Amino acid sequence: MSKLLNSVSVVVTNKRNLLAYAFLAPALLLLLMFSFWPVLYGSYLSFTDFSLIREVHWVGFANYRALFANDMFLTGLKNSLLFLLVVPFTQLGAISLAVLVNNQLPGIRWFRAAYYVPVVTTVSVVGIMWGFMFHDQGTLNYVLLQLHIIAAPLGWLSDDALALFAVMFVSFWRGLGWYMVMYLAALQSLPAEMQEAAILDGANRWQRFWRITVPMLKPTILVCSIMSVLAALKAYQEVDVLTQGGPMNSTFTALYYAYDQGLKRLKLPRGLAASFVVSLCCMAIAFVCLRWLNPGHRK
Amino acid sequence: MSASINKILRTVSQYGLLSLIAIICIFPFWWTLVVAMSTEGNLFEFPPTFWPRGISMDNFIEAFRVIPILAFYKNSLLITLATVLGKLVVCSLAAYPLSRMQFNGSKLIMGVILATMILPSEVNFLVNFITMTKISLVNTYTAVVLPNIVTAVSILLLKQAFDEVPQDLLDAARVDGASEWVIFYRIVLPLITPWLATVGILTAVEAWNEYIWPSIVISKPEDFPLSAGVLYLRGTYGSSTRVIAAGTILTVAPILVAFLFTQRFFMRGMDGAVK
């Protein structure tokens, strides 16, 4: 009897397993094809001389060696590191903005929406619009001239000393609203008592911000900063729509180099090798951040 | 008395700051709209034009004439709808057993899905293009849509939604002999409609905005979605800035209008992500 019950329960479990996997099958299949396969096959291809039209040969580390002998890639790596400058500005800006829009002022909903508009705008449109703004005779130069910040119009996208910073600014402009909403959600889940107690104790706004708000937001700040660091290291879409790497290759980032080689010049293995170097850097940084900055979170 | 003046001053300065930042966020859109609507005056001059002169719709009509904008709209709409539908179906199917069924290997599957979040995905399209060539899907919208249907974030959001459905409902249905499929389809799915809407709207924005992958996998420009087509417009008719501006406005307008009507969904999506 118990044997029978046992086999019945085995059949039932099997049926349930089968059913669960039937539910999961389409998603797993797509993940396998478009998330895992590209990494596996791509890392293999980065060790070959792959092209769509001839036979494939194993070439060992040749692509990687060529990468580090290439000035354009090295410039790209340097620029990707420089891009990290965007992170503190974005995060501090986003926290301040979140605190500002967390006030219950009439019409605040519309301000929040306005700050989020750049986030929902496609990068290609952002590139075209900021191309207008950065024009020699464009609005940005006009405003800066009027404020006497600059003496003559600057070539924001045509001067190789400036272009990367212009690209970085656009990245900042696009990111601000996104992180603001993250911080806003975190702020709204904080208990109000702490703030009230601090007000009773006579703490001013500045003290309350640095001594109470920031420490309580620490977990969110950590998550957002890591996301922001990884996004900065992986920046390339802004480059594509604003400068395409120019002037004089001064705005190449590491991943834009990967994209440019892999897609525009059809040197796929080289592009893949570059992208894996970037990925390895990102994984290492994420690992270090999670491990050392947040030891209490270790499981 | 002085306290109330202080308060007024603070309110004014707050609004001043809020407005300044809002202008920085919105101004590029405004300037582009002004250029698209004007027919007179120089494009780039000091002081710049902040208000349209010689208002007309000519540039928009010209944009419709020189590039197949209607086709771009249709393509964008098709890609967006297919991505949203595909994602809602496939991801909610996947999220349901992860949330509500006990089966062997559930932890492993969860791990596999989470792992995709740390995989280096930036240039997946390099290999995905080879894959699409091999399975002869290049130049189809199927190829544009397929890689974007499943994301770990969507599965996790929907799993969270399923987690919140009371167990009693499921137990009652099982006692009544309802099959797992009927429970999923008839009972649980209708209860998480708000979450489906959230995931759907976030996905729609992403799909509408994506430009790199479609421009790789689609070779004929008239088959591009708007986001890729607008860059094509810049490349081809580089001299006519006003027409480019009109095309740009035509590209962002639908998404901005949609955003203004569905703001709260964006905030809710974030809430889920922060948890």
ipTM: 0.87
Contact criterion met (CB < 8 Å) for A263 and B216: yes
The DSSP-derived string for A101-112 is HTS--TTHHHHH
Give the pair of three-digit tokens for residue A198: 């601090």
- Residue A92 located in a structural domain: yes
CB pairs under 8 A between A and B: 250
Do residue A71 and residue A127 come from a single domain?
yes
Q: How many CB atoms lie within 10 A of CB B174?
A: 12
The reply to whether the predicted model has a pTM over 0.95 is no
Both A185 and A123 in one domain: the answer is: yes
**CA pair distance A223, A182, nearest whole angstrom:** 10
In chain B, ranges of CATH 1.10.3720.10 domains: 66-274
Task: Report pLDDT digits (tens) over A260-276.
Answer: 998 888 888 999 999 99
Question: How many domains does one find in chain A?
Answer: 2
- Determine what percent of chain A is predicted with pLDDT higher than 90: 54
- Which of A23, A45, A240 minimises the CB distance to B96? A23
pLDDT cut 70: percent of chain A above it: 95
- What is the three-class DSSP state of A295? helix
Q: Which residue of B has its CA nearest to A237?
A: B212
Please report whether residue A227 resides in a domain: yes
Residue A235 lies in a domain: yes
Cβ <8 Å between A145 and B46? yes
Domain that holds residue A30: 8-35
Joined tokens for residue B184: 């999923």
The span from the CA of A245 to the CA of A203, in Å, is 49
Please report the sign of the dihedral spanned by the C-alpha atoms of residue B92, residue B93, residue B96, residue B97. Answer: negative
Give the Cα separation of B102 and B167 in Å (integer): 13
Average pLDDT, chain B: 87
- A33:B131 CB<8 A: yes
- Nearest in space to B62 (alpha carbons), one of B241, B263, B262, B269: B241
One-letter-per-residue 3-state SS of B208-274: HHCCHHHHHHCCCHHHCCHHHHHHHHHHHCCCCHHHHHHHHHHHHHHHHHHHHHHHHHHHHHHHHHH
Q: Enumerate residues 6+ apart whose C-beta is below 8 A from A281.
A: A233
The whole-number pLDDT of residue B274 equals 44
Task: Please report the pLDDT score of residue B271 as a whole number.
Answer: 53
* Contact between A186 and A213 (Cβ < 8 Å): no
Spell out which residues of chain B touch residue A129, defining contact as CB-CB under 8 Å: 28-29, 31-32, 248
Task: Using an 8 Å CB-CB cutoff, list chain A residues near B252.
Answer: 121-122, 125
Q: A58 phi and psi, to 5 degrees?
A: -75, 130
Q: Which residues of A touch B29 (CB under 8 A)?
A: 117, 121, 129
Cβ–Cβ below 8 Å for B118 and A133: no
CB contact at 8 A, B93 and B154:
no
Contact B103 A42 (CB under 8 A): no
Q: How confident is the model at residue B275 (pLDDT cuts 50, 70, 90)?
A: very low
A23 and A157 both lie in a single domain? no
User: How many angstroms separate the CA atoms of B212 and B232, rounded?
Assistant: 12
Tokens 């208002």 identify what position?
B55
- A68 against B236, higher pLDDT: A68
A52 assigned to some structural domain: no
Q: Given an 8 Å threshold on Cβ–Cβ distance, is A27 in contact with B231? A: no
Same structural domain for residues A78 and A130? Answer: yes
**A16 shares its domain with A138:** no
Q: Which residue of A has its CA nearest to B118?
A: A283
Residues A113 and A14 in one domain: no
Residue A232's CATH number: 1.10.3720.10
Residues A99 and A158 reside in one and the same domain? yes
Q: Is residue A51 part of a domain?
A: no
In a domain, A222, yes or no: yes
CATH superfamily for domain B66-274: MetI-like (1.10.3720.10)
Q: Are residues A16 and A136 in the same domain?
A: no
Provide the pLDDT for residue A76. 94
Q: Is A2 a member of any domain?
A: no
CA-based nearest distance B270→chain A, Å: 6
pLDDT, one tens digit per residue, over B16-58 is 999 999 999 999 999 999 989 887 777 777 777 788 877 888 8
Distance from CA of A1 to the nearest CA of B (A): 24
